[in-house]
Chain A
Amino acid sequence: MTAAVAAPALLEVEDLHTHFQLKNKLVRAVNGVSFAVRRGEILGIAGESGAGKSVACLSILRLVPNPGRIVRGGIRFTGQDLLAKSEREMRDLRGQTVSMVFEDPLNSLDPAFKVGDLIGEALTLHKGLSRRDAWKKAGELLRLVGIPDPDRRLDNYPHELSGGMQQRVMIAIALSCDPALLIADNPTTALDVTIQIQILDLVKQLRDRLGMGVLWITHDLGVVAKLCDRVVIMYAGEVMEEGDVYGVLKRPRHPYTRRLIDALPKLGRPEQRLMPIEGRPPDPANLPSGCPFAPRCYKAQPACEERAVPLVQSGDGRAVRCLFPED
């Protein structure tokens, strides 16, 4: 990373490889991924299912489930090497300075505890607050995430709340210790659109007020356009393209990004026939040696399949992994 960027990087992921050794095959879920999140920035990670987005983010918190292993790479958070930390140090970090919101709120909230205790847990654990003080702070957090009548809600169990409310509780838990970085894995997919937009608006407000960095994983480029400052497009465990949201979505350079956009129905242009991407993503246990998108790419040349294609930075803060980029 060059030191020329304006805001210092909060999180730097460099050349991350996370592999799963199964009985008879090696699944390379994340295969040399690099990106950085700055303070006060919302970075989107977008791609289809199986692109390695979630595994990359779980790797940051060192929460990759067995038999997954981080086999190579560097993860630095405010300058500290997270891969060198002990499990105990990681536990102090998780939920305190880096917190995560998962896709499915109901499965992430312990049904046996009241909302007040769920939110208060991190506060008693990390901040040493008494249960009473933590309960009080939990009420303030619920108000912050826009839950009406927060003091009464503290007494509810998770199943008594709607999906949107549960996701707000998840965000309240994530925010309870004033994290410097919030990682969110598809947190709005299960929500209705009018509730989704409330959550997106809330995250933007909180970013402005608290100045935290946000890493937002999504398969929805529309959400990227609504929420994020910059975006990383992933495919088959690799970063295909990176840059500011406006540039990437308006003038995509990687053919994959382009095809991803062309495959979506566009508001106001129903007569335009959708252009699906033909073929299937490669098997992560048997990745091609060259560009993983080459077999499905309209611009592919023999050179694309020969050897790995490097991610090339251009001066405007964008990067693309393609031998024959658009533009």
Chain B
Amino acid sequence: MPAATTPLIQVKRLVKHFPVRRGFLDRGPAAAVRAVDDISFDIGSGETVGLVGESGCGKTTTGRMIMKLLAPTSGDILFDGQPIGGLSFEQERAYRRQVQMVFQDPFSSLNPRMTVGSIIGYPMRIQNAYPGAARDARIRELLELVGLSRYQASWYPHEFSGGERQRVGIATALALNPKFIFCDEPVSSLDVSAQAQILNLLKDIRSEFSLTILMVTHNLSVVEYLADRVVVMYLGKIVEVARTADLYQETLHPYSKALVSAIPTPDPDVERSREQIILRGEIPSPLDPPSGCRFHTRCQSFIGDVCRDVEPDLREVRPGHFTACHLYAERPVSASAVAGAAGQLA
């Protein structure tokens, strides 16, 4: 990532807590789901970043905050160097033109009572873009761009297959020539062949329009196919950030290692030869995350009290490769801690 230019999106110490309503008689202390808990990362202009992790890790919440669909509890998001909080009405309108979203479920995200032409034209209507005949021309252009026919503008969503609907979703996202697209699990509800078509389409439009993409997914092979860099989250925290190839070849964090080893791949040779890490237990509740390193309750490389007591910082262990894990601490861990870990393993 060239350091000279400002990243398109900067996420700085972002926090989102969802307060939990207590029952009428239950007067315990106010609790909060700590969905996103102090995370920072950048997305360079033209870069595709994959945000991965399991349910409840805060990946979608992060994306929705960038889209301004949710307000952060604290922290900042900068777009082109400008904070997106506290924009005026006009500025916010301009911002929403530049950031668009592709949704997970192409069945529920398209209004069944609108033709796909009017669905694709809707953002233009709202933003008063492409007036008059230009709008219809733009709709036809977009349909062809995503591999549909211009004559399908008058069709309704139910006349399309799942993959074709997702193409409509992508055409809608592209309608206003955005700089940035947030894709939330764009292929997880699609069949294998439709999935391949959509991934190829995203790859093509990305280079054609030099788009910046944040892709949230739990599918690490999808991320590997599309992303330049990967951010791995666990329980509201970032545990690893790396260039895609580095993440897969020199995985640092024990959680990322487990994730990579758990990806099902259809190559039996790979399945037989690679290390299989089976994590114990379940993801703890984000209402009451574990102390210290949040992963310590399931970690296969637990090294002792330090994991339980001290929250590890995200550190640059190799150039451009960050991880938050005591295994890679600056100073070697004390001998007693290692001995303690060995004792626990025995």
Contacts and interface: CB of A to CB of B under 8 A. Distances in A.
Interface of A: 48-49, 148, 162-165, 192-198, 201, 219-226, 245-246, 249-250, 259-261, 263-268, 270, 273-277, 280
B224 A226 contact: no
Contacts of A163: 55
Interface stretch (B90-98, B111-119, B120-128, B265-273): B265-273
A219 B258 contact: no
B282 A162 contact: yes
Interface residues of B, number: 42
18 contacts: A162-B282, A192-B283, A193-B263, A194-B279, A198-B278, A220-B264, A221-B266, A249-B268, A263-B193, A263-B195, A263-B196, A266-B221, A266-B265, A267-B220, A268-B224, A268-B248, A274-B196, A275-B196
Contacts of A49: 191
Interface in B45-61: 54-55
Contacts of B226: 270
A165 B282 contact: yes
A98 B259 CA distance: 33
A198 B279 contact: yes
Contacts of B203: 273
A261 B248 CA distance: 21
B275 to A, nearest CB: 12
A201 B278 contact: yes
Contacts of A267: 220-221, 224, 248, 263, 265, 267, 270
Given A148-B281, A267-B248, A274 B268 contact: no
A99 B311 CA distance: 46
A265 B199 contact: yes
Interface of B: 54-55, 161, 191-197, 199-200, 203, 218, 220-222, 224-226, 244-245, 248, 258-259, 261-271, 276, 278-279, 281-283
B193 A276 contact: yes
Contact of A193 (B54, B193, B270): B54
A221 B191 CA distance: 12
Contacts of A194: 54, 258-259, 262, 278-279
A225 B278 CA distance: 16
Contact of A259 (B191, B193, B263): B193
Contacts of B244: 270
Contact of A276 (B55, B194, B267): B194
Nearest to B187: A265
A162 to B, nearest CB: 5
A260 B192 contact: yes
Given A162-B283, A194-B279, 14 more contacts: A48-B193, A163-B55, A164-B282, A193-B264, A194-B259, A198-B278, A221-B264, A225-B267, A260-B192, A263-B192, A264-B192, A266-B221, A274-B199, A274-B225
B59 to A, nearest CB: 12
